[in-house]
């Protein structure tokens, strides 16, 4: 398959239906039960139920023996029928996901992905502990300090001696496969994620653009990702 799926496979994620209270509507929420873990091949190191504002997910924990990093996957629904699964690979961003930073679009992308999965009633989000595009939290803060003096996100990484993007998606692909997912509809603007999954034998039948969270403070960052890192803006 080509590194970038054809245009006919693209569609954007917009605002998704939810109740006024922020809770998912009854048609998207099911009563939690231990058997709610996805059927189709899960072999995580630990699993529990995780109620959220949007749906009651199953939370799976995984330890990567090659790095010592611990990752999680949130899943909803049954994957055993082999149909393509709505999927998001999301790398950890403490500042955006937890501290509501306006320097990036990570927090809004995380929320939009979970809402999209809940609205569909079936899907998975793999949350990868690859802070700062793989350079770690302290180095990310150092990179931010360089950006405060005028460097863009790519040059800041290079000034610190790091690659533009140091993330590795091989263990993410392993997680996806253990969940029984072999065909995916991937929520991403990053063609690298498409190529990484397909290199491990996972077919990406659709790339779904995820354009949320743009603001005046992260506009330069988003433009840099598009023009210097190959992220797609469609």
Contacts of 146 (CB under 8 A, 6+ apart): 155, 156, 159, 160
Give the active site residue among 88, 142, 167, 207: 167
Q: Catalytic residue at 167?
A: yes
Tokens of 45: 């190191």
CB distance 203 to 106 below 8 Å: no
Sequential DSSP letters for 165-196: -----HHHHHHHHHTT--EEEEE-S-HHHHHH
Q: Residue with structure tokens 């231990």?
A: 34
Distance CA 221, CA 33 (A): 42
Q: Dihedral of CA 163/165/167/168: which sign?
A: negative
Give the active site residue among 105, 165, 185, 207: 165
Name the residues annotated as catalytic: 165, 167
């Amino acid at each position: 398959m080509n590194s970038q799926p054809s245009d006919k496979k693209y569609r954007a994620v917009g605002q998704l239906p939810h109740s006024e209270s922020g809770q998912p509507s009854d048609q998207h929420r099911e009563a939690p039960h231990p058997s709610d873990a996805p059927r189709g091949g899960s072999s995580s190191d630990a699993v529990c139920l995780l109620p959220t504002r949007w749906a009651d997910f199953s939370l799976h924990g995984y330890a990567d023996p090659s790095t010592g990093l611990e990752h999680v996957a949130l899943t909803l629904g049954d994957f055993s029928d082999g149909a393509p699964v709505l999927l998001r690979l999301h790398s950890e961003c403490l500042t955006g996901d937890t501290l509501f930073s306006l320097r990036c679009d990570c927090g809004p992308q995380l929320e939009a992905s979970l809402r999209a999965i809940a609205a569909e009633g079936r899907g998975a989000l793999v949350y990868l502990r690859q802070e700062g595009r793989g350079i770690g939290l302290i180095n990310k803060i150092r990179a931010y300090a360089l950006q405060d003096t005028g460097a863009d996100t790519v040059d800041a990484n290079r000034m610190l001696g790091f690659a533009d993007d140091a993330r590795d998606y091989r263990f993410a692909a392993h997680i996806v496969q253990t969940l029984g997912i072999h065909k995916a509809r991937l929520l991403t603007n990053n063609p690298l994620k498409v190529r990484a999954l397909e290199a491990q034998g996972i077919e990406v039948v659709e790339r779904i653009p995820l354009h949320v969270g743009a603001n005046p403070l992260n506009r330069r960052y988003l433009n840099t990702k598009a023009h210097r890192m190959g992220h797609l803006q469609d």
